[in-house]
Chains A and B, each alone.
Chain A
Amino acid sequence: MGRVKARPVWAFLAGPYALFLLLLLIVPFANVALYSVHPYSPTRIVLPELTFDNYAKLFDLYYARLFGRTLRLGLITTIVCAVLGYPLAYWLARARPRLQTLGLFLLIMPLMVSTVIRIFGWIVILGRKGLVNEALAGLGLDPVKLLYTETAVVIGLVNIFMPFMVLPLMAAIERIPPSLEEAARNLGANWAQMFRRTILPLSLPGLISGSLLVYSVSISAFVTPALMGSPRERMAGQQIYDEVLVSFNWPSASSLALTLVLVTLLLMFAALYATRRAGRLERDK
């Protein structure tokens, strides 16, 4: 096909969305960066002076705890997703095409339904008079407080972000030829040995990129901790929401948001790199 060199047709085609992103993605985050270096004023929201107090404040005990809790819950969510998601990814990767289609539908359909609806379902299940506690009462046991705890938040996050773990893992496992498994088995390895020596190391890029994805979306979660967590034990997303919409401390929200964005972007690019590297290793083979 002849390539047009004289007129930059690509600029007319790709230009509109590029401009759109410039105006509504880059400029808003530049605006956030600007807010983050101005002092907060209860009456005028922002004062026209330069300060780095909003960043220094992030080292206060309150924010250190907030970050600590956020990063810890993200880590637990990631580990649970990996433990539950790995067998699922392996099963999907090796399933017959029809089963795989069904499995993917059942995995992706809940992902597309609004987070708030799935969390609503969990509230009904875990609530004081919910499914779990009714079952316990039926067995003559005392009700347990499940909702508004960190456990509830982790259950919700795992439920919502599981596909982000399973899909990259499944792609990685699919690239491993089943003949490799057979070869290991024929050479006398039992299933566990075969798994540890062949499947696990070869699927590691998928596991890494899935984990980074799950971690980065967990640490910026809002709806799940807001509806299922304790109001006293908040995550970073809730803090930002409150500072923007409730207390109108936009400078503080901005420094927090910018820090979180940078952490997330770093993790996301690491995930992209892991996936691309896996692809390149595949091609070199």
Chain B
Amino acid sequence: MSGRAPSMLLPFVVAVYAGLLAPLVVVIAISFGPSPTFAFPPTGFTLHWFAEFFASDTFVRSFFRVSLVVGVLAAALATLLGTAAAIGLVRFRFFGREALETFFLAPLLVPQILLGAALYLFYARVALSASIWTLLWGHLIICTPYVIRSVTAGLVGMDPRLEEAAMSLGATRVQAFMKVTMPLLRSSLLSGAIFAFIISFSDINLALFLSGPESTSLPVHIFSQIQWQGDPTIAAASTLQIVIIGLLILIVQRIFRLRLMV
């Protein structure tokens, strides 16, 4: 009897999902359609807009030289910073530990558009001009908490006796950590890194303020193209981003509990 409610809800649930996914479906569909005015449903199939995408200097630069590069660097550095911070928080007891934990999650509580504005004003104050690096520092702030969250979850679920066993067999503390704990942390590290990449790769709110003319990220470029009434090359670029992010999320879901990440 109690199982009835969910099945009763199914049509409603399907409708809500349809609304959630509609914009993505439409974007993917028109990226393969021949109509330059975004006609939906598409009347044919073409890869023309993808060819346009790869022929466009600005799209190619924003995708490959800015968004991908910043995303990979942000993921690598956030993983370093975040893993160290998580180990410090979980494995040590010290005064102010809980306050520090809250402080480390603070970047997730501050609205991104305001963080972007604050960073822009700070860079202006210290006369730092916009580049890939100013964007990268901004992204590190918002990516690292995801790594911290993922690695913390991994560490908390681990039996400390494993390390103790290694140490009783003669390993030093550092050796025990590196040889026993690190391999077990691999999936938390990997999903933290992937999430950091996704956050950086899809960010627009910080990039709107921190991208310079030579470091326009893909979302910012799409944003200005929409404002200038561009053609479905926007849709092709969007489809590429959707596919990359979809695949990465599938990987995270395979190796880790996805819900912990959001």
Contacts and interface: CB of A to CB of B under 8 A. Distances in A.
* Co-complex (A, B): yes
Contacts of A171: 259
B258 interface: yes
Contacts of A35: 121
A257 interface: yes
A62 interface: no
Contacts of A120: 23, 27, 222, 226, 234-235, 238
Contact of B249 (A2, A105, A119, A245): A105
Interface in B97-125: 97, 100, 103-104, 106-107, 109-115, 117-122, 124-125
DSSP class of B's interface residues: helix, strand, loop or mixed? helix
Label chain A's interface by main secondary structure: helix
B110 A114 contact: no
Interface stretch (B44-52, B58-66, B81-89, B183-191): B81-89
A116 B160 contact: no
Contacts of A91: 6, 9-10, 13
A167 B262 contact: yes
Interface residues of B, number: 97
A124 interface: yes
Contacts of B21: 106, 110
A104 interface: yes
Contact of A112 (B110, B140, B245): B245
B100 A18 contact: yes
A143 B219 CA distance: 30
Contacts of A24: 119, 122, 137-138, 140-141
Which of A3, A14, A191, A240 has most B Cβ within 10 Å? A14
A35 to B, nearest CB: 6
Contact of A185 (B1, B119, B241): B1
A185 B258 contact: no
Contacts of A21: 103-104, 106-107, 141
Contact of B23 (A4, A18, A159): A159
A136 interface: no
B6 A244 contact: no
Interface in A238-271: 240-241, 244-245, 250, 253-254, 257, 260-261, 264-265, 268-269
A241 B113 contact: yes
Interface string B1-35: 11111100110110011011111111100100000
B13 A162 contact: no
A40 B17 CA distance: 47
A64 interface: no
A178 to B, nearest CB: 6
B204 A223 contact: yes
B116 to A, nearest CB: 9
Nearest to A33: B118
Interface string B222-252: 1100110000001100100110011001100
16 contacts: A4-B92, A14-B89, A16-B85, A84-B16, A94-B6, A113-B238, A113-B241, A114-B202, A115-B204, A115-B219, A116-B219, A124-B30, A171-B259, A222-B113, A245-B120, A254-B121
Interface of B: 1-6, 9-10, 12-13, 16-17, 19-27, 30, 37-40, 81-82, 84-85, 87-89, 91-94, 97, 100, 103-104, 106-107, 109-115, 117-122, 124-125, 137-138, 140-141, 144, 148, 160, 163-164, 173, 198-199, 201-205, 208-209, 218-219, 222-223, 226-227, 234-235, 238, 241-242, 245-246, 249-250, 253, 258-259, 261-262
